[in-house]
Amino acid sequence: MQTTSPIIVAVDVADERAALNLMDALDPQLCRLKVGKELFTLAGPNIVEQMQNKGFEVFLDLKFHDIPNTVASAIKMAAELGVWMVDLHALGGRKMMCDAKEILAGYSKPPLLIAVTLLTSMSDEMAHEIGLIGNKDEIVTRLANLVADCGLDGVVSSANEAKMIKEIQPNLITVCPGIRLDNSIADDQVRIMKPANAVKEGANYLVIGRPITRAADPREALQYIISTLAI
């Protein structure tokens, strides 16, 4: 049975045993799990399969960004692995995104394909430094429109931009990291928001790591966050 919870727990750990312990502490009826570069590099597809065997739907967050053929092949492998969602970088351009979407056409139940607009760690100054034109809202708007034009399912963006994205592209799923609680530190995130506020702003899914994974009782922390969402 698939969960209706908007919470995706980021299993960003550098220890496979820690990942397994976290799986045991959480409930697939209350959340999905995200596997990023750190854990996937450590444990590979096997950790995804273990999560799925425990009933979790998995967001494979590897943010592919390469030549179109390479990215399309990687997306195909993600589909073969049976993940629920996979992402790439919108900055990879139209052909890269269109080819990735096209390769999923032959699957009866393909993963959701979403694109990162701007990383939540990126400020206006950092975007300008790499040559992007305009402020972050203008950049995200251009990229969100391109993502929709390429037929992808949604975007990864800051919750601060979720409302804006829904206004210009209401059919795009918004997956929002940078979610923090009142007593959480921002760490390396620049554009952050509390869970309930993010949902009100239009976030469909909330990617939450440290406030849950570093809690004394991860299940209790997860249940508390869900209780604050009023959904």
Residue where the block lists tokens 């096997």 = 46
- Residue list, annotated binding site for substrate: 12, 34, 61-70, 120, 180, 189, 209-210
Per-residue pLDDT at 185 exceeds 90? no
Per-residue pLDDT at 231 exceeds 90? no
Within 10 A of 52 (CB to CB), how many other CB atoms are there?
Answer: 17
Q: What confidence tens digit (pLDDT) does each residue in 135-174 have?
A: 999 999 999 999 999 999 999 998 889 999 999 999 999 9
Q: What confidence tens digit (pLDDT) does each residue in 90-144 have?
A: 999 999 999 999 999 989 999 999 999 988 788 899 999 999 999 999 999 999 9
Is the full-model pTM beyond 0.75?
Answer: yes
Q: Which residues are catalytic?
A: 63
State the amino acid at position 169 in one-letter form. Q
Per-residue pLDDT at 84 exceeds 80? yes
State the amino acid at position 140 in one-letter form. V
The answer to whether the beta carbons of residues 79 and 104 sit under 8 Å apart is yes
CA atoms within 13 A on the CB side of 77: 12
Q: What confidence tens digit (pLDDT) does each residue in 85-95 have?
A: 999 999 999 99
Nearest Cα neighbor of 147 from 196, 104, 90, 190 is: 90
Spatial separation of the C-alpha atoms in residues 198 and 84, rounded to whole Å: 22
Task: Name all domains of the chain by residue range, CATH numbers in brackets.
Answer: 7-227 (3.20.20.70)
